[in-house]
């Protein structure tokens, strides 16, 4: 019997016994095996067995004091009265996934995003800001160099994937959304393709802003809370608010998605994911000291619908318990409980605040904070077998054609100069066409991060300001 003829149940059993780091090598021996290993329902089941060991336990990733931890969360025993052990054991360290707090490399790191088993982290160095993408479960790490200047903390970063017709094939991408405009009302963002290690630059207009840097990944796309701005890019009084989605397949921002509430500029609005399938939105009213959480029933890049109010809490009795700024959260749908990560009122300890709809409130001390300005961040975590491929330089077809045209123009110039030692008269139109070609090549190579050696350096530097044209 051939390997491809084995029943799926037997193949699943075989692959499940293979060490994680060797799955890709084993799967490459058979097309059907490779298809199964790339099936996301199978990988979720496989790695769920590998990591999750207890019933009712879910996994989250927390960043605390420049370190990334895998935490197990079990909130199904917290309502037992006067049982402090249950409260303390509801959120526990399971493993340290990765630590980038190396004095010679990074001074501080922050979790930016989780998508499809990959973590995107932002790191501060003495030379600027660096980005690293890692699959903690496979122990793979990849640093991403910026296209030009250093990364800026004020910019927005996200990671997602392009969906193919075959659901098992996905192309991972990173979004770098610049806060500052390229020129009046023209903004720009960059897309990094993991497969080709190339950058693409896009320009667009917008009439909204993203007041908070943290977005949420759902089904390969990214969602942000947004507010409207006027035509000059200035903030307006009591602006409309909504969600904005970036679709990594079309590489475009989608239309406005309505919210079940209206917030004011002093209110706090935070997003979170529910099993990477639905979106949860937390709003804390500044004037009413009331916290509400809404959960979607359906969400797509161009459509959203909301469930009834998931949780509403009067925050006045909790004012002295913790400070409600720079927080992140996740929810437990079955227990109607929200866990809000933050610091205590003295900014000296990391705190998890467990809040129930029935007035239940408990705190879990996560330990002393070594950096009072570094607030804990949390995101859901689903282990996966996604490989972080090594960077390979791949030229687009149009770039190859453009290089050939420029090479032909260069050879034509050389032929004119060598033709009996005489320099022929060149028309103004020909000179303009040459300069446009060289400029196009320069911009295109900057976009994918290379520079052609076939183009003379003086032509590179001249661009549109090339040598004077002759009539």
366-403 per-position pLDDT tens digit:
888 777 777 788 888 877 878 886 665 544 555 555 56
The reply to whether 23 falls in a domain is: no
Q: CA-to-CA distance for 433 and 150, rounded, in angstroms?
A: 34
pLDDT score for 289: 78
What are the beta bridge partners of residue 341?
Answer: 328, 352
Question: Sorting pLDDT into bands at 50, 70 and 90, what band is 462?
Answer: very low
Tell whether 364 and 412 lie within a shared domain. Answer: no
Q: Is residue 453's pLDDT more than 50?
A: no
Secondary structure of the chain in the HEC alphabet? Answer: CCHHHCCHHHHHHHHHCCCHHHHHHHHCCCHHHHHHHHCHHHHHHHHHHHHCCCCCCEEEEEEECCEEEEEEECCCCCCCCCCHHHHHCCEEEEEEEEECCCCCCCCEEEEEEEECCEEEEEEEECCEEEEEEEECCCCEEEEECCCCCCCCCCCEEEEEEEECCCCCCEEEEEEEECCCCCECCEEEEEEEECCCCEEEEEEECCCEECCCCCCEEECCEEEEEEEEECCCCCECCCCCEEEEEEECCCCEECCCECCCCCCCCCCEEEEEEECCCEEEEEEEECCCCEEEEEEEEEEECCEEEECCCCEEEECHHHCCCCCCCCCEEEEECCCCEEEEEEECCCCCEEEEEEEECCCCEEEEEEEECCCCCCCCEEEECCCCCCCCCCCCCCCCHHHHHHHHHHHHHHHHHHHHHHCCCCCCCCCHHHHHHHHHHHHHHHHHHHHHCCCCCCCCHHHHHHCCCCCCCCC
Residue 303 or residue 406, greater confidence:
303
Provide the domain count of the chain.
Answer: 2
The reply to whether 281 falls in a domain is: yes
324, 352, 380: which is the final residue of a domain?
380
Q: What is the CATH number of the domain that holds 125?
A: 2.120.10
The reply to whether 365 falls in a domain is: yes
**How large is the average pLDDT for residues 423-445?**
58
Most confident range (mean pLDDT) of 18-22, 348-352, 388-392 is 348-352
Mean pLDDT lowest among 12-16, 47-51, 265-269, 301-305:
47-51
Tell whether 318 and 448 lie within a shared domain. Answer: no
**Residue 418 domain boundaries:** 397-462
Tell whether 271 and 336 lie within a shared domain. Answer: yes
Tell whether 195 and 311 lie within a shared domain. Answer: yes
pLDDT, mean over the chain: 72
The reply to whether 423 falls in a domain is: yes
Tell whether 257 and 367 lie within a shared domain. Answer: yes
**How large is the average pLDDT for residues 459-464?**
32
Most confident range (mean pLDDT) of 67-76, 356-365, 436-445, 449-458 is 356-365
Tell whether 374 and 456 lie within a shared domain. Answer: no
Does the pTM exceed 0.75? no
Tell whether 291 and 215 lie within a shared domain. Answer: yes
Tell whether 188 and 294 lie within a shared domain. Answer: yes
Tell whether 357 and 449 lie within a shared domain. Answer: no
Give the CB-side neighbour count of residue 214, counting CA atoms within 13 A: 22
Q: Is residue 53's pLDDT more than 70?
A: no
335, 355, 380: which is the final residue of a domain?
380
Q: Is residue 2's pLDDT more than 70?
A: no
Tell whether 453 and 308 lie within a shared domain. Answer: no
Tell whether 333 and 401 lie within a shared domain. Answer: no
Tell whether 376 and 416 lie within a shared domain. Answer: no
CB atoms within 10 A of CB 55: 7
326, 355, 380: which is the final residue of a domain?
380
């Amino acid at each position: 019997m051939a390997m491809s003829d084995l029943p799926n149940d037997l193949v699943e059993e075989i692959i499940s016994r293979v060490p994680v780091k060797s799955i890709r090598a084993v799967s490459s021996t058979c097309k059907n095996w490779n298809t199964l290993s790339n099936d996301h329902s199978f990988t979720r089941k496989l790695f769920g067995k590998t990591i999750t060991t207890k019933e009712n336990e879910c996994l989250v990733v927390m960043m605390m004091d420049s370190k990334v931890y895998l935490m197990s969360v079990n909130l199904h025993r917290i309502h037992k009265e006067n049982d402090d052990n249950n409260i303390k054991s509801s959120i526990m360290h399971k493993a340290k996934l990765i630590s980038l707090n190396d004095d010679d490399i990074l001074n501080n790191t922050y979790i930016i995003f989780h998508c499809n088993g990959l973590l995107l982290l932002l790191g501060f160095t003495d030379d600027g800001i660096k980005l690293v993408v890692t699959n903690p479960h496979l122990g793979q790490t990849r640093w991403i160099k910026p296209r030009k200047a250093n990364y800026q903390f004020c910019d927005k970063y996200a990671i997602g994937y392009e969906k193919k017709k075959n659901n098992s094939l996905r192309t991972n991408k990173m979004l770098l959304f610049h806060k500052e405009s390229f020129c009046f009302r023209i903004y720009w963002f960059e897309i990094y393709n993991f497969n080709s290690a190339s950058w693409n630059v896009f320009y667009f207009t917008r009439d909204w802003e993203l007041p908070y840097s943290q977005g949420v990944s759902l089904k390969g796309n990214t969602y942000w809370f947004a507010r409207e701005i006027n035509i000059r890019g200035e903030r307006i009084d009591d602006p409309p608010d909504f969600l904005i989605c970036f679709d990594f397949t079309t590489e475009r921002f989608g239309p406005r998605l309505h919210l079940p509430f209206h917030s004011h500029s002093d209110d706090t609005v935070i997003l979170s994911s529910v099993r990477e399938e639905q979106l949860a939105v937390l709003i804390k009213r500044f004037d009413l000291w009331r916290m509400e959480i809404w959960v979607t029933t359906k969400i797509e890049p161009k459509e959203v619908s909301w469930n009834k109010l998931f949780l509403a809490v009067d925050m006045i009795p909790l004012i002295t318990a913790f400070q409600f700024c720079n927080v992140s959260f996740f929810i437990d749908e079955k227990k109607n409980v929200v866990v809000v990560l933050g610091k205590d009122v003295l900014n000296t300890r990391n705190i998890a605040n467990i809040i129930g709809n029935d007035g239940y409130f408990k705190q879990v001390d996560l330990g002393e904070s070594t950096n009072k300005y570094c607030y804990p961040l949390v995101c859901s975590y689903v282990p996966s077998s996604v490989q972080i491929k090594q960077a390979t330089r791949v030229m687009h077809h149009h770039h190859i054609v453009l290089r050939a045209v420029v090479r032909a123009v260069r050879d034509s110039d050389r032929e004119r100069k060598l033709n009996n030692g005489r320099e022929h008269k060149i028309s103004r139109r020909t000179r303009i066409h040459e300069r446009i070609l060289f400029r196009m090549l320069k911009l295109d190579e900057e976009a994918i991060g290379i520079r052609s050696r076939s183009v003379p350096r003086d032509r590179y530097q001249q661009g549109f300001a090339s040598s004077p044209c002759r009539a």
